[in-house]
Amino acid sequence: MKRPAFEDIKTGQEFNRWYWLKAEMIEICKHSNLPTHGRKFDLRDRIMYALDNNGAILEEPVEKKATSKFNWARSELTPETLITDNVSFGPNFRKFMKSQVGNKFSCHSDFMDWVKANEGKTLKDAVEQWYALEARKNDPAFRREIADNNMLSQYIRDFLDDNARKTLKDAKKYWQLKKQLPTETGFVRYERTDLEL
């Protein structure tokens, strides 16, 4: 079964059965007079809503605005600097972190999520947390959690876990085949039966 052209899709549920690239959804939004900003899943929800509501635009949640006026780009950062609700991970922040942990510092998503969730703690706490997160890498059982919207990475991990003798190239080949098929949930997930594709 081949994915239908968008023009032939009449409901949000039908749209959600198929895998769409973000670039494709941006084009669909442009042609449907829908906003084109946001994450892939924002675009998907917007298109589904429009299909089910005669082209209406999905109301977006109001984002909480930062109240702090602290200037993360220009202020001198010290271990005692408090994390504020407008924390920025720009060059000044990275320079401070490198001054504390060295050039091995990387501003990965787990660390940034921790900082954003810990307003009121200090940059000293952030440095300690960075070391704690890095220490997990020494645990052979540790695996970073993959976000729901990163279906390709999750598929590849699950495929290789289940097929020790196959390669990354194999995983990508089966991903290409699987993503063309309809799903009930809108998520492309690895299943052992994919090897029959």
Query: Is 155 inside any structural domain?
Result: yes
Q: Considering only 8-22, 49-63, 78-92, 139-153, which range has the smallest mean pLDDT?
A: 139-153
| Whether 137 and 163 share a structural domain | no
| Whether 118 and 164 share a structural domain | no
In the chain, the number of structural domains is 3
pLDDT in tens, 105-154: 999 888 999 999 999 999 999 999 999 999 998 888 888 888 888 899 99
| Whether 137 and 158 share a structural domain | no
Q: Is the separation of the CB atoms in 116 and 135 below 8 Å?
A: no
The range of the structural domain enclosing residue 23 comes to: 6-52
Query: Is 62 inside any structural domain?
Result: no
